Amino acid sequence: MVSSVRIKDHHSEQRMFLNRSIAAGALMLTLMLALAVKLFQLQVLRHDHYAELSQGNRVRVEPVPPNRGLIVDRNGVVLAENLPAFQLELTSEQVPDVDAALAGLVNLQLIQEAEIPDIKRLVRSRRSFEGVPIRLRLTDEEVARFAVHRHEFQGIDIRTRLTRHYPLGDVAVHALGYVAAISEQDLTRIDESEYAGTTLIGKIGLEYAYEKELHGDPGFRQVLVNAQGRPVELASQADAGLSSRNAVGGNDLVLSLDVNVQRVAEEALKGLRGAIVAIDPTNGDIIAFVSTPGFDPNPFGRGLSSAEYSALQDNIDRPLFNRALRGVYPPGSTIKPVVALAALENQTVDPDQVRYCRGFFTLPGSRHRYRDWRPEGHGNMNMQEALAQSCDTYFYAVAHALGVDKLSEMLGRFGLGRPTGIDIGGEKAGLLPSREWKQRAFSRPADRVWFPGDTVNISIGQGYMLTTPLQLAHMAATISRRGKSYVPRLVTAVRDPRTGVTRRLPPQTNGDVNGISPGRWDRAINGMIGVTSPPRGTARGSAAGAPYKIAGKTGTAQVFSVGQTEKYDEKTIEERLRDHALFVAFAPADAPRIALSVLVENGRSGSGTAAPVARKVMDAYLLPEGPEE
Amino acid sequence: MMMGGMETSTARRTLSASARLLGRLRLDGLLLGGLIAIAVFGLLVLYSASAQNLAFARGQFLRLGLGLFVLVMLAQVHPKYLRMFAPWIYVGGVLLLLIVALVGDVGKGAQRWLDLGFIRFQPSELMKLAVPMMCAWYLHDRPLPPNLFSQLALAGLILIPVALIAEQPDLGTALLIGASGVFVILLAGLRLRVIFTLVPLLVGLAWVGWHFLHDYQRRRVLTFLNPENDPLGAGYHIIQSQIAIGSGGVFGKGYMNGSQGQLEFLPERTTDFIFAVIGEEFGLLGLLVLLGAYLFVIGRGLYLALECQDTFARLVAGSVSLTFFVYVFINAGMVSGLVPVVGVPLPLVSYGGTSMVTLMAGFGILMSLHSHRKLVGS
C-alpha cells in the first residue's frame, strides 16, 4: 500500500453533495428560465405571426422536384430527356375514403383493380400531406375522362410533371437502363426528403448507377391552404413570411457511346440474340454497348401494366436480359492468344516448332480423344499458323505442357474471372477455373481433383470456363495495347446544367499486364492478324477489303458437349442448342482505336456469323464516311 | 364550533392515516403526488393529441398503473440489495446491448429491440438505471472526491453502454444515460479544475464525433441550426411545432381545440412532440404550470437525496432527479427549437411504455433509498 491512504469523510462528502446540488439547482433554474424566455418569444412576441400561420389559413410546404439530368452520347446526341406529362396524384390526408376513391377510379378505367394493393401500400409509405402519383402519363382522353368526374374525387388531382423520355427508343437501352415509379423498396435506400415531389427513380443501367448525379436537389415553396387543404392566394402573402427555394436540376451525363456506331451494331445483330461491346483501348471508353433483343424503355416511366411486363419477362428471347453485362458464355477459341502468351511467358513452347495436327489429341496414358474442330486435322502447325487457323490440338498440347496454374494465372491477368469494373452495376464475374476454385466449388472429394483434361478444355475456352462479352472486349483491348488496361466506362463527363461546367472523369487504369517482352506480344498479335489474313485465316473473308489492318480471333462455343462416338449433326439439333459464335478483334492492328467482342447466341460459327458483324462495327467507327471505293 | 372542530380532527386523522400508510409503504407523498399529477395531466393531453382516441389514453393508463406498481415494489427493496445487485444488473444490461447489436430487431432504421418471443424489450431502458447505480456502487466505498484512476474507470463504465446505444443508433437515449452517469460523478465531487479541463476537451471530442454521426443525426443538428433550410425533411417537425406553440399564445386555444394538433399538421404529436400540443391548447400558462410541476418533482427528489445518509443512496437519488430534469429540458427545448431534435420523450406525458415504467422505477428506487435510511441524530 502507498503511504497516502485516504479515509472516507462522510461529513465532507455530504457538504460536497449539498454544494453540488445547489449548483445544479441554480443551473437548472437558469436553463428553465432560458426555456421560458424562448416560450415567451414564441407565444407572446411572435404570437401573431404563428397564429396567422396556423389559424384560418395554414402553411403547407410543397416540394418542387428537380429536373433529372440529361444523358447524351459523345457527340451530344440526346439519349434521355424530360418531357411534360399528366399524372394522377392522391393526397391521402385530403381523401375522405381512400378505398372508395380508388374503386371509383377503377370504374373510370383509370387504374386497374389489381394495382390497388400496391397503390395503397405506396400511399401509406408517404407522408399524408404529400401527393402520391397513382397513375403516370395519362393520355389526353384519360385526362378528359377524369376532368368530368373530378368533383367526385376530393384529394385526387391531375398534375403536370416532367417524365423521362428516351427519344431513340430502344437504342442503347441496356446501357441506359430506365426509370420507373419509386417503389417501397427504393424508399429504403433513398432519403425521402430528397425525393419529395419526385415520382421516378433509376432502376437499372446508367439511370440507376448515376442516380445521385442525375437526380438533383428538390426545392420547395410554402403555400397557404384553406381548411379544405386547397392552395389559396392572399394579398398579404408577401408578408406572411412564406419562403421558397428553387430546385437544383441533376447533372447531365456525357457518355462515351457513339450513337452512330451503336445503331450500326444494333442493326447488325437485328433478329439475333447476342451482344457487342466495343471499347476504345486507349482509355476504356465504351463506343458501343449492345445486347439484343432490346426493348423500349419509355413505357417503364409511364408504368407497365402487369401484362406488358410479363410479356417482356416471359419472352423466350429474354429482351430484358443484359447479355453484354450479365450473359456468361464459354469464350471458345477467343482466348487462344492469351493461352499462347502464357506458354511463351513460361517458356513451355517454342513458337517456331512445328507440331502435326491429326484432328485429335490424347493425354499420355489415356485413350480419350479431344477433338479438333476440323475432324481431318490441320497438318503441320507452328504457333502463328495455329492461331490463324485456330488449331485446337496445338493448344491442347501447349496447355497440357503449361499446366493449369500458370494458364489460369495469365487468363486472370487479362481480367477474366472477375468484374471489369464498368460503371453500371450488376456485372457478372464469369468463371475462371483453377485448382483452388475446383477445390472450393465441389463437395464430393472425387470432383474436387483437378484433372489434366480440365486444363485441356480451358485451352480452347470450354469446360468450366465462362466469360461475359464485356470481359472479352476488355481482354481484346488489353491485348491491343500490349498489356495496358483501362476500366471500361460509359460515362466520360458530368455536366452541370446551370453553370455549363463539364467535369471530365479521368480514365481509370485496371491492373496492367506487365513484364511481357515485345517479341512475345508480337507473336500473339501477329497470330491474331493471321486470323484475318489470307491464305488460311479463319476470319479472312470478313476482313477482306478493309483499308485498315484487323487483328482478331474467332471462337465457337459449344452449348453442350458432343458424345464420344456420336457424330456432330447440326441439322438434328434444335436451333437453341447450336454453338454460340464469338469474335474478338481490334483495329487498326498497329495503332488500335477500337477493340471489340461480338457474341451471337446459337450463331454456329465465329467466322461465319460474328466476324462479319464486327467488321460492320469497325467500319462504322473507323470509316465514318463509309468505306472507300 | 364543535362540529367544525370535529371535522378538522377527522380530516387530520384521515391525513395522518394516509401519511402512516405512505410511510409504511416507504413512499414519499409529495413526490408521488407530483408524479401522479403530471401523469394524469398527460393522459388528458394524450386523449386530445390522439384525436380523441380512447385506445391511446387507455393504453397509457395501463402503463401508468404498471409504472406505479413497479414504483411501489421497488420502494420496498432495501438499498443494500440494490447496491449488491447493481454490478450484476449493469453487466447483464451490457450483455443484452451486445446481443441487440448482433441480433436485435430493426425498427425505424434503428436497432434497439430485443425480441424475447413474448415481449419486445429495449435493453437501453435498463441501462438508464443500471449506469448511475453502477457508478454509485463503484464510488460507495471509495474516498471522495474520486481520484484520477476512479475517474477513468467511471468514464469507461459510462462510455461502454453509451457507445453501444449511440451505435444503434439512439442518440437521445445515449445522451440521457451518459448524463445520468456523469451526474453521479459530479455529485460525488469531481474537482472543479477537472471540470474546467474536461469541458474544452469535450467540445473537441464533439467536433471529432461529428464525423462518426449517422447522416440523419447530422442533419438533425444542421436543421436545428437553421430549420427553414430543410422544410421537407427534418425541419418540418420544428417548423410545425413552433407554429403550434406560437399560435397557442398566453392562454392557449383550449383543450381539444388546437388546430395544428387536431388537424394533424404536427407530426409525432402523441409522442416526442406532445409538448407542442400542450403549448397550443393550454398556452404559455399551461406550459409554465407544467414546467413548475416538473421542477417541484425534481426539487423534491434532490431534497430526498440530500437526506440520504450513505454515498450510494445519495448519488443514485441525486442522479435520478437530475436526469429527470435533462429529460424535461431536452424535450421541451427541442420542441420549442432551443436544442436539436434528439428523440427524447416528455417524461410521464409522451405516449410509450418503456419510458414511463423506467421513470417510475427510478423514483421507486429513490424512495427506497430515502425511506430506508437510519434515522441517526434526528
In this predicted model, what pLDDT tens digit does every residue of B22-42 receive, in sequence order? 888 889 999 999 999 999 999
The pLDDT score that the predictor gives to residue A559 is 77
pLDDT beyond 70 at A601? yes
How many distinct helices (H) and strands (E) make up chain B?
14, 3
Task: Encode pLDDT of A16-75 as tens digits.
Answer: 889 889 999 999 999 999 999 999 999 999 998 888 777 654 666 778 889 999 999 999
- A548: cell is 485498315
The pLDDT score that the predictor gives to residue B233 is 63
Helices (H), ranges, A270-382: 298-302, 306-314, 323-326, 336-345
Q: How far apart are CA A418 and CA A421, in angstroms?
A: 9
- What size, in residues, is chain A? 629
For B235, nearest residue in chain A (alpha carbons): A193
Between B341 and A518, residue with greater pLDDT? A518
Terminal alpha carbon distance of chain B: 37
Q: In what order do the strands lie in the sheet with B105-107?
A: B105-107, B110-115, B120-121
Burial class (CB in 10 A: 0-12, 13-18, 19+), B237: buried
Between B374 and B24, residue with greater pLDDT? B24
Report the sign of the C-alpha dihedral through residues B149, B152, B157, B158, in that order.
positive
For A35, nearest residue in chain B (alpha carbons): B333
Q: How far apart are CA B158 and CA B152, in angstroms?
A: 10
pLDDT beyond 60 at A608? yes
Question: Is the distance from CB of A324 to CB of A596 less than 8 angstroms?
Answer: no
Helix (H) / strand (E) element for A60: namely strand A58-64
User: What is the percent of chain B with per-residue pLDDT over 90, rounded to a whole number?
Assistant: 43
- A125: cell is 409509405
Q: From the CA atom positions of chain B, what is the Rg in Å?
A: 22
**Nearest CA to CA, how far is A193 from chain B (Å)?**
5
Determine, for residues B295 and A40 on separate chains, whether the beta-carbon distance falls below 8 Å.
Answer: no
What letter does residue A517 receive in the DSSP assignment? -
Between B10 and A299, residue with greater pLDDT? A299
Task: Encode pLDDT of B249-282 as tens digits.
Answer: 999 888 887 777 766 678 788 888 999 999 999 9
Task: Encode pLDDT of B313-355 as tens digits.
Answer: 999 999 999 999 999 999 999 899 888 777 788 999 998 767 8
Burial class (CB in 10 A: 0-12, 13-18, 19+), A591: exposed
Pairing of strands A370-371, A491-495: unpaired
Q: For A343-364, what is the mean pLDDT?
A: 91
The pLDDT score that the predictor gives to residue A428 is 94
Terminal alpha carbon distance of chain A: 104
Three-state DSSP at A217 gives strand
pLDDT band at A132 (very low <50, low <70, confident <90, very high): confident
Annotated catalytic residue, options A333, A480, A533, A605: A333
- A455: cell is 486444363
Q: How far apart are CA B48 and CA B45, in angstroms?
A: 5
pLDDT band at A235 (very low <50, low <70, confident <90, very high): very low
Amino acid letter, residue B14: T
Please, what is the Cα angle at B308 between B306 and B311, to 5 degrees?
100
Chain A partners within 8 Å of B147 (Cβ): 6
Question: Is the distance from CB of B178 to CB of B342 less than 8 angstroms?
Answer: no
What letter does residue A258 receive in the DSSP assignment? -
Q: How far apart are CA A415 and CA A284, in angstroms?
A: 13
* Residue-by-residue DSSP string for A582-598: EEEEEESSSS--EEEEE
Question: Is the distance from CB of B349 to CB of B281 less than 8 angstroms?
Answer: no
Question: Is the distance from CB of A134 to CB of A111 less than 8 angstroms?
Answer: yes
Question: Is the distance from CB of A219 to CB of A196 less than 8 angstroms?
Answer: no
The pLDDT score that the predictor gives to residue B362 is 95
User: A32, A49, A243: best mutation site toward chain B, by most B Cβ within 10 Å?
Assistant: A32
Chain A partners within 8 Å of B139 (Cβ): none
pLDDT band at A232 (very low <50, low <70, confident <90, very high): low
A333 catalytic per annotation = yes
Helix (H) / strand (E) element for A620: namely helix A611-622
Residue A149 CB coordination number (10 Å): 14
Closest to A327 (Cα-Cα) out of A580, A149, A39, A619 = A580
Three-state DSSP at A293 gives coil
pLDDT beyond 90 at A310? no
Most confident segment among A3-7, A169-173, A558-562: A169-173
Lowest mean pLDDT among A101-110, A511-520, A560-569, B341-350: A560-569
Question: Is the distance from CB of A282 to CB of A481 less than 8 angstroms?
Answer: yes
The pLDDT score that the predictor gives to residue B168 is 76
Chain A partners within 8 Å of B265 (Cβ): 54, 58, 129
- Domains detected in chain A: 61-255 (3.90.1310.10), 259-622 (3.40.710.10)
